[in-house]
Chain A
Amino acid sequence: DGGITQSPKYLFRKEGQNVTLSCEQNLNHDAMYWYRQDPGQGLRLIYYSQIVNDFQKGDIAEGYSVSREKKESFPLTVTSAQKNPTAFYLCASSTAAGNTIYFGEGSWLTVV
């Protein structure tokens, strides 16, 4: 089935550690996105990529990094510089026209 796969679904991290969240899509979409969801704040854009080997910062990029070496993959690294990383992270993808964006099932990150 076509779709977006995020892994892991649940992740615990110790303070000071970097962690990478995986996002893979087999929809042949050009564009991919990472959002963070916090209660009462909706979804906020972290990074997005409209084409391989290119990406742009979103509204809350500080403390995060991404790469887009392959069309189907857009991993997100939450670095130790991110002061409040505990959140629900959503990956999404769309065609170049951006008509409809499809979301993965999300990854819960908890810093302990």
Chain B
Amino acid sequence: AQSVSQHNHHVILSEAASLELGCNYSYGGTVNLFWYVQYPGQHLQLLLKYFSGDPLVKGIKGFEAEFIKSKFSFNLRKPSVQWSDTAEYFCAVSTGRRALTFGSGTRLQVQP
């Protein structure tokens, strides 16, 4: 069965700091990879996704993620965070079954 691990449960950064959130998955076949964000009081929104091609994927709001197949990883990055990036971030993977499996989430708190 597929699974997703997000090792950082709570991250606190100051504005302008760089961000990297880890995501590892376990599945031997072809995967589709996603990062979702949930701002306080709002519903889940798609940040970016990877299906194939360039392993460096750019998403909305300056986020990017890199798929490293050999490491089964899909880490999320942003060079300079803002207070408005405070949210919970979820990594997710889908395989042939097509139902998304989510990680446990990382709560990001950006201090002004």
Write the residues of chain A forming the contact surface with B, with a CB cutoff of 8 angstroms: 31, 33, 35, 40-45, 48, 50, 58-59, 90, 92, 94, 97-101, 103-106
Contact = CB atoms under 8 A, between A and B. Distances in A.
B90 interface: yes
B101 interface: yes
Contacts of A48: 99
B105 A50 contact: no
A41 B103 CA distance: 8
A79 B99 CA distance: 23
A107 to B, nearest CB: 11
Contacts of B9: 40
Contacts, number: 50
Interface residues of B, number: 21
A97 B52 CA distance: 14
Contacts of A44: 102
A106 B43 contact: yes
Contacts of B46: 100-101
A40 B101 CA distance: 15
Contact of A35 (B32, B49, B102): B102
Given A99-B32, A99-B51, A100-B49, A42 B44 contact: no
B13 interface: no
A11 B6 CA distance: 31
Max chain B Cβ within 10 angstroms of own Cβ: one of A33, A43, A48, A58: A43
B61 interface: no
30 contacts: A33-B100, A40-B9, A40-B104, A40-B105, A42-B4, A42-B102, A42-B103, A43-B90, A43-B92, A43-B102, A44-B102, A45-B99, A45-B100, A45-B101, A50-B98, A59-B101, A90-B43, A92-B100, A94-B98, A98-B32, A98-B94, A98-B99, A99-B32, A99-B51, A101-B34, A101-B46, A101-B100, A103-B43, A104-B43, A106-B43
A84 to B, nearest CB: 17
